[in-house]
Amino acid sequence: MLMLSVMTSKTVFGQRMTFSNCNLELNLKDDNGKYYMKFNFSAEATGMKNHDAELYLVVECPKGEDHTYTEDGDYGGEGLLQYPVQKLKEFKNKNKTDSFSLKNKFIWMYNSDIHPKKGKNTYYMRIIAYDAETGDEIGRSGYQTFTMTGK
């Protein structure tokens, strides 16, 4: 397991999500023997009165490296190819409060969803949070780095 605690946030019209206690667990096996990885995190949201949040797990790799990507793959900023891999879920602000906490949460995905090409490939995984109503980005976690080898 890679352990890293990072705090990254972004403010858009007062909405902000700050991530902490992020770590990545690799090569876990489900009941069917299929390998998966789990991105663990905690987050604090502020400025969210009457707003919900959507969190996406994103996997990126440097441009120019061999890779395969989902049909949603697109070139993102920072010189990386961005893969929106799995929408986690919408976090409903049930009490319509200004602030709420997400403690000890995780997003998982199957290793096979990344489809590494032949040889060693390095990837960067993080979570990006959006305001569910406006679609504006309100925060992102730091990167967790991992390497996979395709045959």
Q: What is the model's pLDDT at position 5?
A: 42
Q: What is the model's pLDDT at position 41?
A: 93
What one-character-per-residue DSSP string does 1-55 give?
Answer: -EE-------EETTEEEEEEEEEEEEEEE-TTS-EEEEEEEEEEEES-TT--EEE
Residue 106 near residue 55, CB atoms below 8 Å: no
Q: CA separation (Å) from 58 to 84, 93, 99, 140?
A: 5, 23, 24, 10
pLDDT in tens, 25-79: 999 999 999 999 899 999 998 998 888 888 888 877 765 444 444 434 444 444 4
Q: Is the dihedral of CA 133, 136, 142, 145 positive or negative?
A: positive
Question: pLDDT at residue 8 above 70?
Answer: no
Q: 2-150 has which CATH code?
A: 2.60.40
Q: What is the model's pLDDT at position 4?
A: 42
Q: What is the model's pLDDT at position 22?
A: 94
**For the chain, which residues make up each domain, given as ranges?**
2-150
* Distance separating alpha carbons of residues 128 and 137, to the nearest angstrom: 7
pLDDT in tens, 78-122: 444 444 455 566 667 777 888 888 889 988 888 887 767 677 878
Q: What is the model's pLDDT at position 62?
A: 60
**pLDDT tier at 13 (50, 70, 90 boundaries)?**
low
